[in-house]
Copies of this chain bind each other. A is one copy, B any other.
Amino acid sequence: MAKLKLTYFDFDGGRGEPARLALHIGKIPFEDQRISPKDWPQFRDRTPFQALPTLEVDGKVVAQSNSINRYVGKLAGLYPKDDWQALLCDEIMDAAEDMGTRIANTIDLPADDKKTAREQLAAGGITRYLEQLQARLMAAGGEYFVEQRLTVADLKIFMLVRWLRSGALDHIPKEIVERVAPQMAKHFDRVATHPDVAQYYERRKAA
């Protein structure tokens, strides 16, 4: 078994959390390196593309969150073996990354521009994506995004929906998921109460 080290910021969310969750669910041993905000500026230039997460596999460092999710998903049994199902899983992960990046791009805008950009996103892209993601979910049976079982696509969406519902995003109504795509809110609860996911956060809370 390869020696793995996943490096990401020290919080339970974002681009690195799906891989952490997948590795835990798959009971794959890995070093869980967490970078604090104060160490990030000096650490930044040591990453391949000045971003986290990175995954070290037997000493070789690889970047790009969905690439990492796919790899650890295969290790953990949380990625489809069938090519068509894999495509559906990939599409969901890429769409979530796309939407997350669009939201993240507004974070450093001046206050007025941020308000305008986020209101446009909420009415436009976010609504559209949530509707389409819900349609994908329903086409797959309504419970999980592919193969009627938990995969890395569900973990990726779980983080995105948690962010949207958190209230941390000014000018994006935190009820938008419930309002636009109620089945996506149910999916969130389904993943959150999945025994392996729930156990992970119980342990994190106790740590």
Contact = CB atoms under 8 A, between A and B. Distances in A.
A49 B90 contact: no
Contacts of A129: 49
A109 interface: no
A95 B68 CA distance: 12
A129 B50 CA distance: 9
A3 to B, nearest CB: 13
A93 B66 CA distance: 11
B87 A62 contact: yes
B49 A70 contact: no
20 contacts: A49-B98, A49-B128, A49-B129, A57-B84, A57-B87, A62-B88, A63-B91, A63-B95, A64-B91, A64-B98, A66-B90, A67-B90, A67-B94, A70-B86, A70-B87, A70-B90, A71-B83, A71-B86, A101-B101, A105-B105
Contacts of A95: 48-49, 63-64
A48 B91 CA distance: 10
Nearest to A69: B90
A62 B71 CA distance: 21
A48 B75 CA distance: 30
Contacts of A48: 95, 132
A74 interface: yes
A66 B64 CA distance: 12
Can you list the 8 inter-chain pairs with the closest CB atoms, starting with the nearest?
A: A67-B90, A64-B94, A71-B87, A67-B91, A64-B91, A48-B132, A67-B94, A62-B91
